[in-house]
């Protein structure tokens, strides 16, 4: 999940890169109604009923009404019972009014279903046996939650394009899919397929997830856009509506398949900037397929849509709002980061939010690696150095206990941004320790569940931090539990102390929990590189008197550094003085 920016009319956008334009912001504030605390939380434990049903398909028909900032929708949800079921349970925001509930085409009386806090419970007419199938139809309408600051604080973004037409998007990662469609609001709630029928004013387009199945002009000023997507991440189901034009091409994959690429951009955009951004698509695909493995959704598309918020990893329709900005990296950081989530987030989904670093840390590490892929080591090291300066180290990246998404992303009681940058730097130290080949094999097996992924031989998979450790151990034939414990399960960075006397350099590691940390250390002595084995976390090496000693000259080790601590303290003092 990235930061947010609004990109409407130029005069209003100048007010703040972190807010909506002045007019849109005031209009949204006037209409702001709040969802329940239950709805605004995501990644909560599933009910017994939800654990006992397989979510086969969601068929969503959603009419988006810009003038009213409202939706009018019908959802048909197909389930298979994994154990006898007396009730069906899904989540839907109480800001949306339910007008009809049906089970297998039969209306359910209003006293047989409830939705008090946003958890919709529907009594079945009779027990559904194991293996039985049922269809739950829900008709609902209303004004969905307005995003106070998308994508950090999510919901609908109702904006206006520079050419004057409505420009609308959804961004709901932190709050969940139930803000606008009835779902199982959990990473484990992925339906086997989602069919989307999005009806919008006929002068607008509605790109969405998966494959395009065509559109129908309703003849009354409205047009329905039809899409189908397999196993989408629940929060990645997205609505995007605006005066779009599109650029398309096919990518010839190194795995033998051809992948359609499409970018939906505003019709007022500079064509040269559009083409320059679109030219990045095949380069990114080549990098990720070489570094991780096959693009997971090649039979659907690689899709990007321009949005009035900064970005979000919506499966096959990533949101992009970076305004074509150049920052000296040689690529668009936002485009690349969100695209990384097709592998780390959509193909690989965390078992629990406590494992969110698998999404954000590994995804963030793809940026330094991409810098090297494009421009060489200097640009990789520059990005790693930028990440290092921002570490907080207040809470462990992984706690070892189930967490909600808010508990992880909120830096007041969780790791916050450390799941990005610290996760990236931990990934780099792991690669430096076990080598490129083993790291590539471990990441590939983590993402696909097999060492030999090819288009068509894998499906989205759930993974935990323990899964990654088990894979690393299996690939290397060694136990790297000490590495995962020292870096991921401790808040404090490992400290490398050094003493030099009587012609010897002595080194010792100290971790937050005091456990052994046998991380080898490279030492450069008068230009000559040596490796010190740190058995039990300690080691030593002969150093001639007067020799220049440089510890870890290639910056392979993530560790506590005095000059970084001093810099962070200085920045904090400067901020407090303002």
Q: 3.10.450, 1.50.10, 2.60.40, 3.40.1710: which CATH number matches 495-557?
A: 2.60.40
Parts of the chain belonging to CATH 1.10.390.10? 247-486
List, for residues 109-133, the tens digit of each pLDDT value: 999 999 999 999 999 999 999 999 9
Q: Chain centroid to CA 573: how far? A: 33
Q: What is the pLDDT of residue 32?
A: 62
Is the pLDDT reported for residue 10 higher than 60? no
Is the pLDDT reported for residue 11 higher than 80? no
Tell whether domain 247-486 is in CATH 1.10.390.10. yes
Is the pLDDT reported for residue 388 higher than 50? yes
Least confident of 22-26, 134-138, 325-329, 538-542: 22-26
The backbone torsions φ and ψ at residue 58, rounded to the nearest 5 degrees and listed phi first, read -120, 125
Is the pLDDT reported for residue 29 higher than 50? no
Least confident of 134-148, 336-350, 399-413, 482-496: 399-413
List, for residues 77-87, the tens digit of each pLDDT value: 999 999 999 99
Among candidates 84, 185, 182, 90, which has minimal Cα distance to 127? 84
Q: What is the pLDDT of residue 1?
A: 54
- Encode 194-226 in three state secondary structure: EEEEEEEECCCECCCCCEEEEEEECCCCEEEEE
List of residues 6+ apart from 64 with CB closer than 8 A: 71, 168, 198, 199, 200, 206, 239, 241
Do the Cβ atoms of 280 and 288 come closer than 8 Å?
A: no
- Encode 233-254 in three state secondary structure: CHHHCCCEEECEEEEEEEEECC
DSSP β-ladder status, 528-532 and 311-312: unpaired
Do the Cβ atoms of 231 and 315 come closer than 8 Å?
A: no
Angle subtended at Cα 290 by Cα 319 and Cα 339, rounded to the nearest 5 degrees: 5
Is the pLDDT reported for residue 414 higher than 60? yes
DSSP β-ladder status, 119-128 and 113-114: antiparallel
Q: What percent of the chain has pLDDT over 90?
A: 92
- pLDDT confidence band for 266 (50 / 70 / 90): very high
Query: b/e for 457-481, b at 16 or more Cβ within 10 A?
Result: ebebeebebebbbebbeebbeeebe
Measured between alpha carbons, how far is residue 529 from residues 377, 521, 522 in Å? 18, 10, 7
Q: Mean of the per-residue pLDDT values for the chain?
A: 94
Do the Cβ atoms of 241 and 63 come closer than 8 Å?
A: no
Is the pLDDT reported for residue 24 higher than 60? no
Parts of the chain belonging to CATH 2.60.40? 495-557
- pLDDT confidence band for 21 (50 / 70 / 90): very low
Is the pLDDT reported for residue 14 higher than 60? no
Q: What is the pLDDT of residue 3?
A: 36
- pLDDT confidence band for 5 (50 / 70 / 90): very low
- pLDDT confidence band for 140 (50 / 70 / 90): very high
Structural tokens at position 72: 């009018």
Q: What is the mean pLDDT of residues 310-338?
A: 98
The backbone torsions φ and ψ at residue 517, rounded to the nearest 5 degrees and listed phi first, read -140, 85
- pLDDT confidence band for 233 (50 / 70 / 90): very high
The backbone torsions φ and ψ at residue 184, rounded to the nearest 5 degrees and listed phi first, read -100, 105
18 or 96, higher pLDDT: 96
CA distance 314 to 400: 28
554 or 6, higher pLDDT: 554
Is the pLDDT reported for residue 552 higher than 90? yes
Q: Chain centroid to CA 90: how far? A: 23
List of residues 6+ apart from 477 with CB closer than 8 A: none
Q: What is the mean pLDDT of residues 400-412?
A: 90
């Amino acid at each position: 999940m990235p930061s947010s920016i609004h990109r409407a009319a130029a005069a209003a956008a100048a007010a703040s890169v972190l807010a909506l334009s002045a007019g849109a912001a005031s209009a949204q504030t006037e209409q702001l109604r709040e969802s329940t605390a239950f709805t605004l939380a995501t990644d909560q434990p599933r009910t017994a009923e939800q654990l006992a049903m397989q979510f086969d398909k969601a068929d969503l028909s959603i009419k988006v009404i810009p003038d009213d900032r409202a939706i009018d929708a019908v959802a048909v949800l197909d389930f298979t019972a994994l154990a006898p079921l007396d009730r069906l349970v899904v989540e839907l925001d109480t800001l949306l009014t339910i007008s009809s509930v049906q089970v297998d085409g039969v209306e359910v009386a209003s006293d047989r279903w409830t939705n008090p806090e946003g958890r919709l419970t529907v009594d079945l007419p009779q027990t559904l046996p194991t293996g039985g199938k049922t269809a739950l139809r829900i008709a609902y309408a209303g004004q969905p939650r307005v995003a106070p600051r998308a994508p950090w604080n999510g919901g609908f973004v109702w904006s206006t394009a520079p050419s004057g037409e409505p420009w609308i998007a959804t961004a709901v990662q932190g709050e969940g899919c139930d803000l606008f469609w009835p779902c199982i609001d959990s990473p484990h709630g992925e339906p086997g397929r989602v069919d989307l029928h999005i009806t919008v004013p006929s002068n607008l387009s509605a790109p969405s997830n998966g494959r395009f199945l065509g559109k129908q002009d309703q003849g009354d000023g409205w047009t329905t856009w039809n899409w189908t997507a397999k196993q989408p991440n629940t929060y990645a189901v997205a609505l995007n509506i605006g005066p779009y034009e599109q650029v398309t091409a096919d990518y010839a994959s190194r795995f033998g398949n051809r992948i359609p690429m499409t970018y939906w951009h505003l019709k007022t955009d500079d064509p040269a900037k559009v083409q320059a951004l679109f030219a990045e698509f095949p380069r990114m695909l080549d990098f990720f397929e070489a570094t991780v493995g096959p693009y997971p959704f090649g039979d659907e598309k690689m899709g990007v849509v321009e949005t009035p918020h900064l970005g979000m990893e919506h499966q096959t329709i990533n949101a992009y709002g970076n305004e074509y900005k150049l920052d000296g990296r040689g690529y668009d950081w936002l485009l690349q980061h969100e695209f990384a989530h097709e592998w780390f987030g959509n193909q690989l989904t965390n078992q629990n939010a406590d494992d969110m670093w698998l999404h954000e840390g590994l995804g963030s590490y793809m940026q330094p690696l991409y810098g090297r892929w494009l421009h060489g080591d200097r640009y990789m090291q520059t990005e790693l150095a930028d990440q290092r300066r921002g570490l907080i180290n207040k809470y462990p990246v992984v706690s070892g206990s189930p967490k909600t998404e808010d508990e992880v992303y909120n830096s007041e009681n969780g790791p916050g941004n450390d799941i990005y940058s610290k996760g990236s730097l931990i990934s780099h130290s792991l690669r430096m320790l076990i080598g490129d080949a083993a790291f590539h094999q471990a990441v590939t097996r983590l993402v696909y569940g097999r060492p030999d992924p090819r288009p068509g031989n894998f499906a989205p998979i759930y993974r935990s931090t323990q899964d990654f450790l088990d894979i690393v151990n299996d690939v290397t034939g060694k136990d790297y539990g000490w590495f995962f414990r020292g870096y991921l399960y401790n808040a404090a960075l490992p400290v490398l102390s050094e003493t030099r006397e009587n012609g010897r350099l002595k080194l010792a590691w100290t971790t937050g929990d005091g456990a052994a940390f046998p991380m080898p250390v490279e030492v450069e002595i008068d230009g000559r590189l040596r490796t010190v084995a740190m058995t039990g976390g300690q080691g030593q090496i002969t150093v001639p008197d007067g020799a220049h000693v440089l510890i870890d000259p290639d910056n392979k080790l993530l560790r506590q550094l005095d000059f970084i601590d001093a810099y962070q303290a200085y920045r904090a003092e400067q901020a407090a003085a303002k």
